[in-house]
A and B are shown apart, each in its own frame.
Chain A
Amino acid sequence: MANQIIREIQQAKSLDDLEVLKTKFLGKKGYFNQQLQKLKSVSDPIQKKNLGLNINNQKQEVIRALNSQIQAVLRQKEPVTDPTLPGTKISIGAIHPITRTINEITEIFAKIGFYRVSYPEIEYEYFSFDSLNMPPSHPARDEFESFTVDGEASSTFGKMVLSPHTSSGQVREMWRMKGKPVRMINIARCFRRNWDVTHTPMFHQFEGLCIDRNINITHLKGAINHFAKEYFGYDVQIRLRPYHFQFTEPSFEIDTTCTICQGTQKTKSGKCRVCKSGWLELGGAGMVHPNVLKAGKINSQKYTGWAFGFGVERVYMMKHQLFDLRKLFSGQLDIYQ
């Protein structure tokens, strides 16, 4: 019987036929199950055992035959295809480089306990300037550098301006925390009157602010060192250069070793054209000026703090090449190609 079944299987030409045969012989009510049912009526245990073994052996043979016929049919039917052809096109979009960079920055600082906040982009001049120790006569406040808007002025906080830096969030955060330790990262759109290949009137900054008892310059160095290494890579070094800002004292600018020439000033194609003497400017930082702490209602005898403000576009451009910053906000999709 088994041989007859196997012949029948070997003659099948399609998978559908094989499926029918599989049910016919191996299904719940198929040939082999029927044979096994019949065993119930055999009373001699030895005869029963032998018959059972025999049926099972035949069944295994049939299963093997069925499987090999399936393979045979498949081999016959399958047309040959080039597996290296391109896949079916699925159109995907993209996340903007600034979003990606902001996410990276947020995560790097979250690791060392800094939380991200958000403060107004259209801001009163008190928070953008006065509270930051920048008197009305300060050049950065004039119409040539800062934007003003026609919003209703406040009797307490003055005119409405476009926040030219994320530092406008410093005193707001001090007020919000009411003397509790501050570990802020403020990331926001900022606006200044600059427009060329490396400047756009709108850009993004990230501001670090750390206020607590006994906070000193070494903590600033540590936090920025952490950022530089996490963001640019572990072989990057930082240096502090003396600088001047109204809202920090002492003030510095922070440089990293050039990400293109690794600080050697040499590239394969000659002298490095990206950096100044092996260093790239990251941005400004310093110890929070006592007048700013005072504006933030913080006792500068008890507490000290540091702050930095770096450009999101700036760190992006230091890490990746971007030939024209203006492209980022042009609405053109060619930045994705």
Chain B
Amino acid sequence: MKTDAKPDEMASLLSLSGPSVEKLEPFGKDYAYDIEVTTNRIDSASVIGIAREAAVILKQHGYQAKFLPLKKIKHVFKAKTKLRLTVEDNSKLSRRILAVVMDQVRVDRSPQYVRDRLEQAGIRSQSNLIDVTNYVMLEVGHPCHVFDYDKIKTGKLVLRQAQDKENLVTLDGLNHALYKDDVVIDDGTGRVIDLPGIMGGQNSMVADDTKRIIFFIEMINPFIIRKTSMKHGIRTLAASYNENEPDVQTAELAFNRGISLFVQLAKAKIASPIIDINRTVAKSKLISIDLSDFATYMNLDISVAKVTSILKALGFNLKAKSKQTLTFSIPAYREKDINLKQDLIEEVARIYGYNNLGTNLPPFVFHSDPYLRNLTERFNKEKVIKEFLASLGFFELYNYSMISESLNQLFATKTKPIRMLNPMSQDLVCFRQTLLASLARAAVINSQQPRLKLFELAHVYLPRPKQLPLERPTLSLLSSNDYFELKGVLDSLFQMGHLTKLISYQSGTKQAYFDPKLSATIYLDNLYLGEIGVLNKSIAFKLGLKSVPAIAELDFGLLAKYFQFLTSIKAQSNQAPIVEDLTYQFDNKNHWQQITTLIKRKFKAVEKIELLDRYQQFYTMRIYSYTKDNKSILSLINQFLTKQLSLKIKTVKDGKNK
């Protein structure tokens, strides 16, 4: 390409309208462009491809630019003696095969310009034979391969699928046990000599004493190329090209260019008829588009002349035109990529310049949508609850959704967890059914921290038959302070959300990772909300935790559903409540929760009961009540508890009127 644009100008314009130029680096008197070509544009992954794009883009921006295509040369076999070459592809594994034998090869270093250009592109220059294949790949955009004809001996190349227990030592010296899906080339005797499209075999590679070569291009199914290349870990540049399915015409261009260069650089002579097995059918693809489609996507009235000139420059020719509809033909090298009118819009829009299009906000729409309203409310509550916990000294963690098998075993629930089929690490295999596993692990990691307080709000994954797992938003807490402090945190959270009257606790949980002696199940409006307790001591021991933390886990969806920032403000009674204290001995049977519920149910005058004090198993409750004439009901409550629950009431103090 010839242009008057400077390298940095070309770099920034290419990025805006074509392939992205990641870096522009001076290289002697020259420049090296580091360009990212997207997988759909394998046609531009070459010097020719970039030049073809650049010429159009630069012209659009007022620069002089002219694309100079490679001359099309058709090589023919003219020598008197011919060397035998047969290619078999009975399973039709390659969509096109091009092959020729070349004789009287002179192995040498490549000329300076070839070596420099390869080096600028990050490829080490080797012998002229290997350099030609790399040079052609970078210049034209199709990988090609050169075999040592004499090392193959049979003059035969057979494309077939690999069999079990076959091996190939690739030219980098590594031995690969082949898989059944791999496509290989054998020399007709069953000896594997090549992983076509990926890397050659050591047993057929050219060397300094090479005299005769086979120059070869094949086009295997890109899916197979990728699979083989990934499985064997051979990520060659050739594989990257072939994975993205270059077109058959580019292959032919590369083939002819390669022959010319062998002649030019290695004095090689064509020594066999050219083999060209082409299984593709040339078709001319047409796509129609309305002028209004451009306006719809670009918010722009664009003229037929402008559209046509941009597309023509890119190789799309206007084939038909009626009022509003334009029909274009697609050049061969874009056939795979261009399928829809939207593809044509993209071509016009990018060359026209996204920068030249306007900037508008999308029109506002009102959504009356109860689902969204609930969700938005949940997100708001999430935010406030997190802030609340942080201000109480809790640190928020984001842990991985997956845990190790061993951690999962420690925190096992009744259901089998969802498991990763292709984990990257043994630490990330089982999907969490409780976040407490991760928090306990974090407690181990941060065990040097005094008074550790952690929380996480994330999904647990609960398998369900015949559908996706339930992803339940869950709030979990861990505190190295005592159980009652953590319970106090929950109680204050419930108070903040005006839930206190709806919350009840029941001693014990179903989960084995809680200490059965000090744990409770939490209910909200009689629905299961979660659990609180001390971590099971044997788990703490196995994890290597020196002290046993308190832990809690709540169904966040349920919590958020009931959580309210505000409730109605009721008129307060003018009367001061009677405040009376009562101490009873815990009998390991009747829990605070039941006792206080019973009292409230029996004595309607009781407004609230608080825990005033506890000493060993003696718990003192403070009872607030509103009675007629401010009469004490303490003796009645005392009687009731003694008779109904056989509780031992230790002392009865007179409450103070407040």
Binding site for B on A (CB under 8 A): 91-96, 98-99, 103, 106, 112-113, 115-118, 120-124, 137, 139, 142-144, 147-152, 154, 160, 162, 176, 180-181, 183, 189, 191, 193, 195, 201-202, 210, 212, 214-219, 221-223, 225-226, 239-244, 249-253, 276-277, 287, 289-290, 304, 328-333, 336
| Stretch in contact with the other chain, from B321-329, B338-346, B539-547, B586-594 | B338-346
Q: Are B422 and A252 in contact (CB under 8 A)?
A: no
Q: Are B395 and A148 in contact (CB under 8 A)?
A: no
Determine the residue in chain A with the shortest Cβ distance to B19: A242
* Contacting residues, chain A, for B466 (C-beta < 8 A): 152, 154
| Stretch in contact with the other chain, from B9-17, B87-95, B597-605 | B9-17
Shortest beta-carbon distance, A110 to chain B, in Å? Answer: 9
Q: Are B361 and A112 in contact (CB under 8 A)?
A: yes
Q: Are B461 and A147 in contact (CB under 8 A)?
A: no
| Stretch in contact with the other chain, from B386-394, B500-508, B635-643 | B386-394
Determine the residue in chain B with the shortest Cβ distance to A244: B38
Given known pairs A183-B365, A212-B365, A329-B400, the reply for A115 and B376 (CB within 8 Å) is yes
Q: Are A239 and B397 in contact (CB under 8 A)?
A: no
Q: Are A139 and B243 in contact (CB under 8 A)?
A: yes
Q: Are B468 and A222 in contact (CB under 8 A)?
A: no
The 5 A-B residue pairs with the shortest CB-CB distance, nearest first, are: A250-B346, A244-B38, A331-B442, A240-B354, A249-B342
Binding site for A on B (CB under 8 A): 11-12, 15-24, 38-41, 223, 226-227, 230, 243, 296-299, 340, 342-343, 345-346, 349-350, 354-355, 357-365, 367, 369, 371-372, 375-376, 379, 383, 386-387, 389-402, 418-425, 428, 431, 438, 441-442, 445-446, 449, 451, 453, 455, 458-459, 461, 463, 465-469, 471
| Residue among A95, A98, A147 facing the most chain B CB atoms (10 A cut-off) | A95
Q: Are A93 and B393 in contact (CB under 8 A)?
A: yes
Q: Are B386 and A95 in contact (CB under 8 A)?
A: yes
Shortest beta-carbon distance, B5 to chain A, in Å? Answer: 16
How distant is the Cα of A143 from the Cα of B422 in the complex, in angstroms? 7
* Contacting residues, chain A, for B396 (C-beta < 8 A): 93-96, 99
How distant is the Cα of A39 from the Cα of B352 in the complex, in angstroms? 101
How distant is the Cα of A149 from the Cα of B429 in the complex, in angstroms? 9
Q: Is the interface of A mostly helix, strand, loop or mixed?
A: mixed
* Contacting residues, chain A, for B20 (C-beta < 8 A): 241, 243, 253
Shortest beta-carbon distance, A243 to chain B, in Å? Answer: 6
B468 contact from A103, A151, A223, A289, Cβ within 8 A: A151
Determine the residue in chain A with the shortest Cβ distance to B24: A277
Q: Are A103 and B401 in contact (CB under 8 A)?
A: no
Q: Are B361 and A223 in contact (CB under 8 A)?
A: yes
Determine the residue in chain A with the shortest Cβ distance to B222: A137
How distant is the Cα of A223 from the Cα of B360 in the complex, in angstroms? 8
Interface contact tally, CB-CB below 8 A: 230
* Contacting residues, chain B, for A189 (C-beta < 8 A): 401, 458-459
Q: Are B243 and A91 in contact (CB under 8 A)?
A: no
* Contacting residues, chain B, for A242 (C-beta < 8 A): 17-19, 346, 350, 354
* Contacting residues, chain A, for B39 (C-beta < 8 A): 139, 244
* Contacting residues, chain B, for A103 (C-beta < 8 A): 383
How distant is the Cα of A176 from the Cα of B370 in the complex, in angstroms? 12
How distant is the Cα of A118 from the Cα of B458 in the complex, in angstroms? 12
Q: Are B355 and A239 in contact (CB under 8 A)?
A: yes
* Contacting residues, chain B, for A239 (C-beta < 8 A): 16, 354-355
Determine the residue in chain A with the shortest Cβ distance to B341: A290
* Contacting residues, chain A, for B15 (C-beta < 8 A): 241, 277
Given known pairs A201-B424, A218-B360, the reply for A96 and B398 (CB within 8 Å) is yes
Shortest beta-carbon distance, B362 to chain A, in Å? Answer: 4
B350 contact from A117, A176, A250, A289, Cβ within 8 A: A250
Determine the residue in chain B with the shortest Cβ distance to A161: B421
Determine the residue in chain B with the shortest Cβ distance to A155: B466
A116 contact from B355, B375, B431, Cβ within 8 A: B375
Q: Are A219 and B360 in contact (CB under 8 A)?
A: yes
How distant is the Cα of A195 from the Cα of B113 in the complex, in angstroms? 40
Determine the residue in chain A with the shortest Cβ distance to B468: A120
How distant is the Cα of A249 from the Cα of B349 in the complex, in angstroms? 11
How distant is the Cα of A110 from the Cα of B372 in the complex, in angstroms? 12
Determine the residue in chain A with the shortest Cβ distance to B39: A244
- Please name 11 pairs of A and B residues whose Cβ atoms are closer than 8 Å in the assembled complex, sorted by A: A93-B453, A94-B396, A95-B386, A96-B398, A115-B369, A152-B466, A195-B424, A202-B402, A329-B398, A331-B397, A331-B442
Q: Are B468 and A123 in contact (CB under 8 A)?
A: yes
Task: Taking A92-B390, A122-B471, A277-B21 as given, write out 8 further A-B residue pairs in contact, using a Cβ cutoff of 8 Å, ordered by the A residue number.
Answer: A93-B390, A116-B379, A150-B418, A202-B401, A217-B354, A249-B346, A250-B342, A304-B296
Q: Are A210 and B362 in contact (CB under 8 A)?
A: yes
Q: Are B390 and A331 in contact (CB under 8 A)?
A: no
Q: Are B343 and A249 in contact (CB under 8 A)?
A: yes
* Contacting residues, chain A, for B393 (C-beta < 8 A): 91-93
Given known pairs A95-B390, A98-B398, A304-B296, the reply for A276 and B22 (CB within 8 Å) is yes
Q: Are B361 and A95 in contact (CB under 8 A)?
A: no
B230 contact from A95, A124, A142, A218, Cβ within 8 A: A142
How distant is the Cα of A112 from the Cα of B363 in the complex, in angstroms? 9
Q: Are B297 and A287 in contact (CB under 8 A)?
A: yes
| Residue among B343, B391, B468 facing the most chain A CB atoms (10 A cut-off) | B468
How distant is the Cα of A106 from the Cα of B38 in the complex, in angstroms? 31
* Contacting residues, chain B, for A176 (C-beta < 8 A): 371
Shortest beta-carbon distance, A320 to chain B, in Å? Answer: 16
* Contacting residues, chain A, for B354 (C-beta < 8 A): 217, 221, 239-240, 242, 252
Q: Are A222 and B431 in contact (CB under 8 A)?
A: no
* Contacting residues, chain B, for A330 (C-beta < 8 A): 445
B469 contact from A99, A122, A223, Cβ within 8 A: A122
How distant is the Cα of A144 from the Cα of B399 in the complex, in angstroms? 23
Q: Are B365 and A96 in contact (CB under 8 A)?
A: no
How distant is the Cα of A149 from the Cα of B24 in the complex, in angstroms? 43
Q: Are A91 and B420 in contact (CB under 8 A)?
A: no
* Contacting residues, chain B, for A162 (C-beta < 8 A): 420
How distant is the Cα of A78 from the Cα of B428 in the complex, in angstroms? 62
Determine the residue in chain B with the shortest Cβ distance to A113: B364
Determine the residue in chain B with the shortest Cβ distance to A146: B422
Shortest beta-carbon distance, B359 to chain A, in Å? Answer: 5
How distant is the Cα of A143 from the Cα of B465 in the complex, in angstroms? 25
Shortest beta-carbon distance, A298 to chain B, in Å? Answer: 15
* Contacting residues, chain B, for A139 (C-beta < 8 A): 39, 226, 243
How distant is the Cα of A148 from the Cα of B358 in the complex, in angstroms? 42
How distant is the Cα of A289 from the Cα of B458 in the complex, in angstroms? 32
How distant is the Cα of A92 from the Cα of B365 in the complex, in angstroms? 41
Q: Are A212 and B471 in contact (CB under 8 A)?
A: no
Shortest beta-carbon distance, B56 to chain A, in Å? Answer: 12
Q: Are B357 and A218 in contact (CB under 8 A)?
A: yes
B297 contact from A148, A180, A216, A331, Cβ within 8 A: A216
Q: Are A122 and B449 in contact (CB under 8 A)?
A: no
Q: Are B340 and A91 in contact (CB under 8 A)?
A: no
* Contacting residues, chain B, for A116 (C-beta < 8 A): 375-376, 379
* Contacting residues, chain B, for A152 (C-beta < 8 A): 465-466
Determine the residue in chain A with the shortest Cβ distance to B379: A116
Given known pairs A92-B390, A139-B226, the reply for A147 and B420 (CB within 8 Å) is yes
* Contacting residues, chain A, for B369 (C-beta < 8 A): 115
